[in-house]
């Protein structure tokens, strides 16, 4: 059997032409899911909440396990969860402020302001060919088969508040673990070495 690009002739009628490719973007997505998703840039790496890290600019890697020293591993996870906590808190505060202004503005108006509100959400979707593209979704009042724009905003705020509570729990767990000498994640990581 000859590979495409090899010096041996390839018989199209029998073998056809094919190419073997690694889907490193898919590998990275699976790695992200395994390590909690939502990496943040810390230093020159993408860091996950469990302390694992990945190359910043290349889906092929490399990937980096958490530091072996428990104090360093806890410090890295703390950096992740504090940064995430700040990002989530900031977005939640902006949405709360916006909603408060919206509610106050609605009280000053005679008509339904929601009719003029539009939320645009961007998400990534995979095509049948395996390519990734950005999908734009608009939410407006009265559009059939979808929530209103205001409900999308309220749902996002609810998710942010839930994620903020999770961040607070993780920070507390790491702080308590540091005072005891080891967290559950440190024990789990030590068991995988």
Kindly state the average pLDDT of the residues 132-161.
Answer: 86
pLDDT for residue 135: 87
Q: Do 110 and 186 sit in the same domain of this protein?
A: yes
pLDDT of res. 139 = 82
Cβ-contact 124, 132 below 8 angstroms: yes
Of 120, 122, 116, 121, which is closest to residue 141 (Cα–Cα)?
116
Cα(106)–Cα(116) distance, integer angstroms: 12
The reported pLDDT for the residue numbered 193 is 43
Tell whether 77 and 47 lie within a shared domain: no
pTM, to two decimals: 0.73
Give SS3 for 14: coil
137 and 59 in one domain? Answer: no
The last residue of a domain, from among 65, 92, 112: 65
Q: Are both 50 and 88 inside the same structural domain?
A: no
At 15 the pLDDT is 56
| Number of separate domains in the chain | 2
Q: Are residues 49 and 75 in the same domain?
A: no
State which residues form the domain around 108: 70-191
pLDDT tens per residue across span 6-65: 444 444 445 567 778 888 888 998 999 999 989 999 999 999 999 999 999 998 999 999
Residue 186 pLDDT greater than 60, yes or no: no
């Amino acid at each position: 059997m000859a590979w495409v690009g090899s010096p041996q002739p390839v018989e199209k009628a029998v073998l056809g032409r094919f190419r073997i490719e690694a889907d490193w973007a898919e590998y990275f997505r699976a790695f992200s899911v395994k390590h909690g998703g939502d990496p943040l840039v810390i230093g020159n790496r993408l860091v996950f909440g469990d302390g694992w890290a990945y190359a910043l600019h290349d889906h092929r890697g490399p990937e980096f396990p958490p530091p072996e020293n428990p104090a360093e591993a806890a410090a890295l996870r703390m950096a992740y969860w504090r940064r995430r906590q700040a990002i989530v808190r900031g977005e939640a505060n902006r949405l709360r402020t916006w909603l408060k202004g919206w509610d106050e503005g609605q009280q000053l108006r005679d008509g339904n302001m929601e009719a003029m509100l539009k939320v645009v959400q961007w998400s990534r979707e995979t095509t049948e060919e395996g390519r990734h593209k950005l999908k734009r979704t608009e939410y407006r009042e009265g559009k059939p088969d979808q929530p209103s724009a205001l409900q999308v905003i309220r749902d996002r705020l609810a998710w942010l508040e839930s994620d903020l509570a999770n961040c607070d729990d993780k920070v507390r767990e790491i702080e308590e673990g540091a005072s005891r000498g080891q967290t559950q994640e440190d024990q789990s990581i030590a068991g995988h070495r």
